[in-house]
Amino acid sequence: MNLCNIRFSTFLMLRLVFFMGTLALTWTDAEAQQKRRIDIEHALSLETNEQIVANAQRLLGEVRIRHNEVLMWCDSAYAYTGTNKVDAFGNVHINQGDTIHLYADKINYDGDISFARAIGNVRLINKTTTLFSDTVDYDLTQNIGYYDDKGKIEDSTSVLTSQIGRYFVDQDVVWFYIDVEGKNENYTLNTDTAMYNTVTGLFTIQGPTFIKDSLNTIYAEDGWYNSQTGEGRLLKNPYVFNEEQQLKGDLIDYNRANAYGSAKGSVEIIDIKNNVIVRGMNAWYDEEREIAYMTDSAVFILINKEDSLYLHADTLKTIPDTLKDEKIIKAYHGVRFYRTDLQGKCDSLVYFSADSTVQMFNSPVLWSETHQLSASYIQIKSHADAPDELQMNNDAFIISQHDTTMYDQIKGKNMVGYIVENELNQIDVDGNGQTLYYATDKGEVIGLNRAESSKITIRFQEGKIHQIRFLTMPEGKMTPIPQLSNEERLLPGFEWKAELRPVSKDDIFRKQVLPSISAD
């Protein structure tokens, strides 16, 4: 190797050593800036006693320590030589910035990582929010406080406790874990996991959660609730309930301030006192006025041990009755209902829980066993100690199917029917009464009786006309079957509507129907 090459190699080596040294110096300076030394700004006395604490200076009286933007005050402290650590004792107070204050009986502070462990009567204060615990770990770089053995958060409106907590000071957010309880003057909250914003009062629900206010208990497994405004959105298995009512749905919006709620998807409202269930896909509820709406596949269920009634309409509305604790249910448009012994349809219907009265409007039709009953207006009144009463006003018409081609018929201006043990027992006709029924002899039909009278009483037995009493002078005749024309078999206005009849509780949702049989 010649001298020139040796000199060149030596030159390169020196340049490399210089570069590496400069790089190391730059890195060390940056690290030193990040790990700035703790400064002892004041103490009444300073001593060293290796027998008490090795490698430490003992600071006594009115101790003040500074590290970067952090100030610490305490009664006494140990500052460890060769490290960037301090143990502070007695009335310890750390201040960071303008708003963050950490108080404790003892604080172990590591300046290299800007980390403090506060022990005994700990308070971490940020503006109007205070964290209380026996032990808090506080990261002064990220401004995050940790407790793992019970803690409490207090702000201007609420008090919250849990076994484990994470307080993100800069974001004004606290995560609570295990045995979480929240309280203020309006509510209590219990859960195992929740996120809380100390400024907005917003809870983010992260698991099974119960929230109880003066009116209701709320349950959900996902969603949010604002403890300041009482507003909430419940997203997973949510329901709202009290002693008298329950509301369920796939999604529930709730506002405590105006006692208003709405729900979507598989909604169910249960009225425990009145044995009523209302279901649908969309609901609105005004708790203060006790008004509820249900739409989209809405169904009203009147619970009975023996036989429940199922009713569908485009819209269902519940309002309070003038009688205390009683309800009025209103059904609008396309009303159809089913019970094994009674079916019906109309355009609108009203149900009174006080006496179980049902009012049917706009082309109402009822079916019971083999009977079809229609009028401009129908009312059903239930009586505990007397037969149920059926009122049919204006163009009242009753058709009973004798067989597949023969129909017994009763027509009049108004009628009152009486139902005994779920069977039509008697009909009183008032005004323009007309009857048409088939006479039998030894089980065979022999003719068709036709009679007219302003007042008629008809008694039924086993679903068929058994006896007719004309209270005013009747006009009538019987025509043998062979002599009957098709026109004579039907009274004017006859319309057999079997295709409209609901045949099951699921059939109440059916819209499309077939043509009916009429006298036209």
Joined together, the tokens standing for residue 431 give 């005004």
* pLDDT of amino acid 163: 98
Count the alpha carbons within 13 Å of 135 in the hemisphere toward its beta carbon.
6
Cα–Cα distance list, 516 to 39, 217, 333, 495 (Å) = 99, 51, 20, 7
For residue 156, what is the DSSP state?
S
Structure tokens at 55: 């490698």
204/180 Cα distance (integer angstroms): 13
Q: What is the pLDDT along the chain (520 residues), one digit of tens a residue?
A: 443 343 333 333 323 333 344 333 333 444 444 458 999 999 999 988 776 778 889 999 999 999 999 999 999 999 998 899 999 999 999 999 888 999 999 999 999 999 999 999 999 999 999 999 999 999 999 999 999 999 999 998 899 999 999 999 999 999 999 999 999 888 899 999 999 999 999 999 999 999 998 888 999 999 999 988 889 999 999 998 998 889 999 999 988 888 888 999 999 999 888 888 999 999 998 988 889 999 999 999 999 887 899 999 999 999 998 887 788 999 999 999 999 989 999 999 999 988 889 999 999 999 988 899 999 999 999 877 667 899 999 999 999 988 888 999 999 999 999 988 878 889 999 999 999 989 888 888 999 999 999 999 999 888 778 888 998 888 888 999 899 888 899 999 999 999 999 999 999 998 755 556 666 5
Between CA 120 and CA 128, with CA 126 as vertex, the angle to 5 degrees is 110
Sign, Cα dihedral of 401, 407, 408, 410: positive
pLDDT given for residue 514 in this prediction = 52
Closest to 232 in 3D by CA, of 207, 211, 246, 248: 211
pLDDT score for 100: 95
Residue 17 in tokens: 């050593």
Q: What angle do CA 503, 509, 513 make, to 5 degrees?
A: 70
Structural tokens at position 439: 């006479």
Per-residue pLDDT, 17: 35
Which residues in 452-487 are b (16+ Cβ under 10 Å) and which e? bbbebbbebeeebbeebebeeebeeeeeeeeeeeee
Query: Do the bridges between strand 151-154 and strand 444-461 make them parallel or antiparallel, or are there none, so unpaired?
Result: unpaired
Q: What is the pTM of this model?
A: 0.77
Task: Report the phi/psi class of residue 95: left, alpha or beta, with left for phi > 0 and alpha for psi in -120 to 50.
Answer: beta
pLDDT of res. 157: 87
